Amino acid sequence: MSQADADALLQEVSAYLKAEDVAQVQAALDFSHAAHAGQLRESGAPYVTHPIAVARILTPLHLDTHAIIAALLHDVAEDTCVTLDEISTQFGKQVADLVDGLSKIDKLQFETKEDAQAENFRKMLMAMARDVRVILIKLADRLHNMRTLGAVSKEKSSRIAHETLDIYAPIANRLGLNTIFQELQDLCFKYLHPNRYEVLAKALKVARGNRREVVTKILESISKRLEENLLHAEVKGREKHLFGIYEKMQTKSLAFSQVLDIYGFRILVDDVPSCYLALGVLHGLYKPFPGKFKDYIAIQKANGYQSLHTTLFGPFGTPIEVQIRTHEMNKLAESGVASHWLYKTSESQINELHQKTHQWLQSLLESLAQSGDSVEFLEHLKVDLFPDEVYVFSPKGKIFALPRGATAVDFAYSVHTDIGNRCVASKVNTELVPLRTELRNGDRVEIITAPNAHPNSAWLNYVVTSKARGEIRHALKTMHLDESSKLGERLLAQALTTLNLKLAEIPEVCWERVLRETGTKSRQELCADIGLGRRLNMVIAHQLSKQNEGEPVNSAPHESGVITLLGNEGMAIKYAKCCRPIPGDPVIAVIKSGQGLVVHTHDCPSLRKGRSGNEWLDVVWDKSITRLFDVSLKLIVANQRGVLAKIASAIAEANSNIENVNFENEGEYTATYFTLQVNNRAHLANIMRNLRRIPEVVRIIRTKVSNT
């Protein structure tokens, strides 16, 4: 059987490769036969039948000699004693690089299967970014494995089918490989839902016979009308694939008969103007469904797909789906990035597609580099592979394709990382909208930036693209490191004062020794560890105070200093929500590991849980703090009309903002909880004086917990 397949492969490559290239393929066939000698697949067939089948899947795409040889050898380095160096010597470095990109990472140990899977995808994506042929061979490999999945256990077939449906089929779709995409989906459906697959397959076979007459009638009427309008066109009926039917039934809660009522037709014309002329002819023949027209020629999909889509009321009210495109568009729709090898026309369009594919792969690699763990990366990958895209415009008319559910922040990062990091507001269709606003097809989006703006961690709750999520995390991590380092430097300087030392006077040799002892790479990293509570400032201060191993620089004691709260430390200093300290309150701070400095009021209930020596630090407020702080007030007020308006007015007169308000009805009186923004205790006292002047306000209490 393998010899017949081998002969068929040689015949297929002979149709488009030169004689010397065919000879190389023959040599690779012999090499693969020898390497896999004695190995069997789980089905019992000789193992070499698999690489031959993979190579044959690629021949219709007219892939070059190196790719065909790599397909024949893709499992050699992984499953036999043959090394990549031997492959490189025999067939060249290019083939060896392709084979390396296709080999799994089995020799490394990973904690979980997800970690191993993510690392294998990372390797494959990096190889794809260098050479897209890697993924074409990988998809062919996965397609043949899916075709022969019946030979493996049910548990293994289910796992492979899930992975294929989640990752590989969407990649095929993203690269425009429509035929491979649809077959992978159908095969996944077959192994994940065998009973449903069988029922649908039988029903489709019956329906195919029943609808033949209707399809023929529609084909004839469309062809006749196009001819009458002097349009040279090729009209074909097209059948929905099984998974497409099943998916539509699931998502739209339709019965099988309702899905089968939609007949599909494809019209191929010579040029773009003819596409729009044919659309006009069709709309004259059958009435179009309102809102069911899509122009993917003017606004092409991210994978390069172009076509006009319309749905019509056919004979007897039967809905008809029609795709109108040029022959060139059809070739690209069927072969995607493989069009570079299959066809030599429309090079500019294919080059643009390759560029978009490369950009997409780079964004995936960036998201992998910035993801916290492997599971998170795989989730990001799935989001990028199932975009269900919306198309929006920049103010200058440039088109951006984003996943459905994308927000103005996603758009900002898709324009440029700096635009995303500095965005403060957005306009959609010239109207100011919140940054979390979801974008819709056709929206015109403008991003407003500020030079000193920074990403907000709250953005992570509503961005959907991996690029935006990765860049936000990276920026926050950098900000946190910088702020923590500055705080750690202040804490270290304070500790050194107790030893009568100044930070600037510490010799370089002492820094180098302490960095070696602590295993940190730089002063910034060491100070950041102190600021985040991972290391104690007094311990590091004592280590720095030693000129050599046991020789102190100057150990004379000195009265301990205090940390001054400037109010602009960002994430490095947190103000405890349990007591909500504001400038003017007596305060104390605790270093919590991984959080940095947390500031409490002296009378905070959490202080009663105990102190432990060096963990607690004395802090004082800087007199020039200008930032606003949240404070909670409880007002007991009489239930009278207009009282809330009086309270709001009194707060506004005192130049304060109301962040939140809640109510608890207590009969004749209502407990009203406010969260206000104040500058300091004096500002709070002024607000409370204003509130006491309101006759309906019976009592005012500053509460020490959040009521939001």
Calculate the alpha carbon distances from 519 to 286, 488, 503, 525, 526 in Å. 75, 17, 20, 10, 9
Calculate the alpha carbon distances from 699 to 95, 166, 574, 693, 702 in Å. 82, 60, 30, 11, 10
CA within 13 Å, CB half, 394: 14
319-326 vs 263-269, strand pairing mode: parallel
Give Dmax over CA atoms of the chain in angstroms: 104
* Conformation bin of residue 291: beta by default, left when phi > 0, alpha when psi is -120 to 50: left
Is residue 79 annotated as a catalytic residue, yes or no? yes
Three-state DSSP at 189 gives: helix
As a whole number of angstroms, the distance between CA 174 and CA 132 comes to 12
Which of 100, 78, 79 lies closest to 88 in space, CA to CA? 100
Sheet with 445-449, side-by-side order of all strands = 431-433, 423-428, 445-449
- Catalytic annotation, pick one of 5, 78, 131, 166: 78
Three-state DSSP at 123 gives: helix
As a whole number of angstroms, the distance between CA 646 and CA 83 comes to 83
Give the phi and the psi of residue 702 in degrees, each rounded to 5.
-85, 115
Is residue 388 annotated as a catalytic residue, yes or no? no
Q: List the beta strands (DSSP E) in 217-272.
A: 233-238, 263-269
Q: Could you tell me if 576 and 674 are in contact, meaning their C-beta atoms sit under 8 angstroms apart?
A: no
As a whole number of angstroms, the distance between CA 13 and CA 69 comes to 11
How many other β-carbons are positioned within 10 Å of the β-carbon of residue 375? 14
Question: Containing H/E element for 618?
Answer: strand 616-621
In order, the DSSP letters of 17-59 are: S-HHHHHHHHHHHHHHHHHTTT-B-TTSSBTTHHHHHHHHHHG
Place of tokens 């500095």: 422
CA–chain centroid gap for 514, Å, is 40
Share of the chain residues as helix, strand and coil, in percent rounded to the nearest 5: 55, 15, 30
Which of 310, 394, 389 lies closest to 356 in space, CA to CA? 389
Calculate the alpha carbon distances from 611 to 106, 312, 425, 595, 615 in Å. 50, 76, 44, 17, 7
Q: Output the six-digit token pair for 406.
A: 């994308």
Three-state DSSP at 517 gives: helix
Three-state DSSP at 647 gives: helix
Output the 3-class SS for 306-366. Answer: CCEEEEEECHHHCEEEEEEEEHHHHHHHHHHHHHHHHCCCCHHHHHHHHHHHHHHHHHHHH
Residues 6+ apart with CB under 8 A from 47: 36, 39, 40, 41, 75, 79
- Catalytic annotation, pick one of 64, 79, 615, 630: 79
Give the phi and the psi of residue 704 in degrees, each rounded to 5.
-105, 10
Catalytic residue numbers?
78-79
